[in-house]
């Protein structure tokens, strides 16, 4: 990964003015987005993620401070040159009409050809490359209005790639995608950042995917500050827990995710290991049970073994000792008991 900064900010304060009243969203930001780096921007709703994306893209002016693109002061860069340096993918619906995907992606070449300019061989080569980079070659002749949400996002990113910029800013590109498409898109973007030495900044609410794919994470706090770091460092330092945990969520440091923490009325003693143990634990917690190390204080106990990828659950409950070979049958049995007795 290169340490060449594509975007840097100095004492940057962002916000907006409405009816003569200035609202500051974040202040004194010292940020750097490097070449070959995929950064995820996290924070609660209203914390200013979209405002930061739009400010870095030049779509709204900072309240104070400065932004530099590849060492040049933002205010000194002409709009046409800026469009060659930074591409943006927003969540707003774009006009499609009778436009096909190829025509939409070709809009990314306008910083080079102009709005009335035709496409030359270099333009077409770049457009073809952009489709290929996001795995959307088969979509080129499709009407944009007929595309699924996931397909539209791919085409939107292809349009941004056609701009041939070294910086891409994306505001919630996975918001309306199902889980497989979110994972696919995050993988595509991370690989693009690394392979093409681009600086990619993506805002998201999906903490789990950010932890899995981001090279670094920026967290917008409610006080307008931004914490930065490697995902693993932020987890081990307790930053993620401090920022996101609340009365309904606990941070599970070992799993690297949050989980609901209803107060368990009954505890279960479990013994075992491996994937069957892990998913049984998840099932019990989902059903409202706690896990205890003290067998004498447990409502029942489960001995979990596995052989040839098959699980075996031996339960000890009062005078009963049922044995189950499928987790769904174990769950059915647990739900059929009257635990109020």
| pLDDT at position 195 | 93
Q: Encoding tokens for residue 25?
A: 């969203």
Q: Which residues of the chain have pLDDT under 50?
A: 1-2
How much is the pLDDT for 175?
A: 83
Model pLDDT, residue 288: 84
In the chain, what percentage of residues exceed pLDDT 70? 90
Question: What pLDDT, on the 0 to 100 scale, is given for residue 1?
Answer: 44
Tens-digit pLDDT profile for residues 86-142: 999 987 656 566 789 999 999 999 888 765 668 889 999 999 999 999 999 999 999
pLDDT at 2: 46
Domain 5-229 classification at class level: alpha beta
Which architecture, in CATH terms, is 266-336? Answer: 3-Layer(aba) Sandwich (3.40)
H or E segment to which residue 170 belongs: strand 167-171
Q: Exposed, middle or buried: residue 296 (CB in 10 Å: 0-12, 13-18, 19+)?
A: exposed
Domain definitions of the chain by residue range: 5-229, 266-336
**Structure token pair of residue 196:** 């093409």
- Cα-based torsion angle of the residue sequence 156, 158, 164, 170 in order, rounded to the nearest 10 degrees: 40
Please report the pLDDT score of residue 262 as a whole number.
Answer: 58
Q: Minimal CA–CA distance to 230: which of 2, 38, 51? A: 38
What pLDDT score was predicted for residue 18? 81
Residue 264: predicted pLDDT? 64
- Of 63, 70, 242, the C-alpha closest to 229 is 242
State the DSSP string of 82-140: HHHHEEEE-SSPPP-TT-BHHHHHHGGGHHHH-TTPPP-HHHHHHHHHHHHHTT-GGGT
């Amino acid at each position: 990964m290169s340490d060449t900064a594509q975007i840097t900010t100095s004492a940057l304060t962002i916000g907006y003015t409405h009816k003569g009243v200035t609202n500051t969203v974040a202040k004194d930001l010292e940020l750097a987005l490097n070449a070959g780096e995929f950064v995820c921007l996290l924070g609660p709703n209203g914390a200013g993620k979209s405002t930061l994306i739009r400010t870095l893209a030049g779509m709204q002016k900072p309240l104070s401070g400065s932004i530099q693109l590849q060492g040049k002061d933002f205010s000194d860069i002409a709009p046409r040159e800026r469009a060659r340096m930074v591409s943006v993918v927003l969540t707003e619906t774009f006009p499609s009409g009778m436009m096909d995907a190829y025509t939409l992606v070709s809009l990314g070449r306008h910083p080079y050809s102009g709005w009335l300019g035709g496409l030359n061989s270099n333009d077409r080569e770049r457009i073809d490359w952009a489709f290929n980079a996001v795995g959307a070659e088969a979509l080129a002749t499709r009407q944009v209005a007929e595309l699924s949400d996931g397909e539209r996002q791919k085409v939107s990113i292809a349009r941004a790639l056609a701009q041939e910029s070294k910086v891409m800013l994306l505001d919630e590109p996975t918001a309306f995608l199902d889980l497989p498409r979110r994972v696919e898109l995050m993988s595509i973007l991370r690989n693009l950042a690394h392979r093409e030495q681009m600086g990619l900044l993506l805002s998201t609410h999906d903490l789990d995917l950010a932890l899995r794919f981001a090279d670094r994470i920026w967290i917008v706090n409610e006080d307008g500050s931004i914490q930065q770091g490697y995902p693993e460092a932020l987890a081990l330092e307790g930053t993620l827990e401090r920022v996101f945990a609340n009365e309904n969520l606990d941070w599970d440091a070992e799993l690297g995710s949050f989980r609901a923490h209803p107060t368990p009325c009954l505890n279960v003693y479990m013994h075992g290991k491996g994937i069957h143990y892990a998913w049984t634990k998840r099932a019990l917690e989902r059903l409202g049970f706690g896990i205890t190390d003290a067998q004498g204080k447990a409502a029942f106990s489960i001995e979990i073994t596995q052989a040839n990828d098959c699980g075996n659950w031996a339960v000890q409950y009062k005078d009963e000792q049922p044995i189950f070979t499928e987790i769904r049958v174990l769950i059915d049995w647990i739900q059929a008991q009257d635990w109020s007795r």
